[in-house]
Amino acid sequence: MMKTLEKQLRGIEKIFIPYIMAGDHERGLDGLQETISLLETAGASAIEIGVPFSDPVADGPVIEQAGLRSLAKNVSLTAIIETLKTVKTEIPLVMMGYMNPIYQYGTEKFLTELSKTPVKGLIVPDVPKEAQNFLTDFLTAEMDICLVQLVSLTTGVERQKLLVDGAEGFIYAVAVNGVTGAGATYSDELDEHISTLSNLTDLPVCVGFGVSTLDDVARFNKVSSGVIVGSKIVRDLHEGKIEEVTTFIQEATK
């Protein structure tokens, strides 16, 4: 049976997935519903929700700072899950979190509780495919949570094949070698790499890392199913540029 995340993303012509840091709001987690509704109304296809962590190895400065602001508000994984249980949304949520807090919480309990929320996908960037049995051992079909694979575009076709084999939801194509952050410069071969990856899978392929302008979005929409935008959205929300966020998503999904 096709899981909800894949079902809901399939058929969307220009997938747009904004990333937000849970708890990075004036009112902390009490502001989460408001931000989710704002992004959903603007036209987001799904929303990636980050769990703050003290040692976020894949995060660039903007996301890292957002995590620190959230941690300063004492936002915990437990509190995030409890808040998500109350969130109302028609679009799927994807949780992005590092393994350590999940392990501390208890992996099985974490997945069980997560399945009671609108979270339909999970990204754990510091657990490579070879070690994902730490998660998949406890992940049952009824939980309806897709473990999303991050695939580096310079990784070589054999590795890419391995990663997309049995993948669920969508493929997260990582556009740069390095950490997250707006304003990356992309290599000329990138579009070709994305096309190669897209040809290896039936799943939607979404491009993330450094996507921050409508030109970036248009470029990647040509060769993939859509984009993930983190740092730009996190920064604009933090600076109160709500209008900018709304128009950006509207334009990106037109």
Ligand X SMILES: O=P(O)(O)OC[C@@H](O)[C@@H](O)c1c[nH]c2ccccc12
Residues that bind ligand X (CB under 6 A): 19, 48, 50, 58-59, 63, 96, 123, 125, 150, 180-182, 208-211, 228-231
CA 155 to CA 102: how far, in whole Å?
A: 27
3-state helix, strand, coil in the chain (%, to 5): 45, 15, 40
β-strands 119-123, 146-147 pairing: parallel
Smallest distance from ligand X to CB 242, Å = 18
CA 172 to CA 207: how far, in whole Å?
A: 6
Smallest distance from ligand X to CB 250, Å = 18
CA 235 to CA 66: how far, in whole Å?
A: 8
Q: Which is nearer to ligand X, 55 or 108 (CB)?
A: 55
How many angstroms separate the first and last alpha carbons of the chain? 31
Residue 59 appears among annotated catalytic residues: yes
Angle at which helices 77-84 and 107-114 cross, to 10° = 20
Residue 202 appears among annotated catalytic residues: no
Q: Which is nearer to ligand X, 19 or 170 (CB)?
A: 19
Q: Which candidate in 59, 113, 168, 216 is catalytic?
A: 59
Q: Which is nearer to ligand X, 64 or 113 (CB)?
A: 64
Smallest distance from ligand X to CB 58, Å = 4
Smallest distance from ligand X to CB 12, Å = 18
Q: Which is nearer to ligand X, 62 or 84 (CB)?
A: 62
Residues with active-site annotation: 48, 59
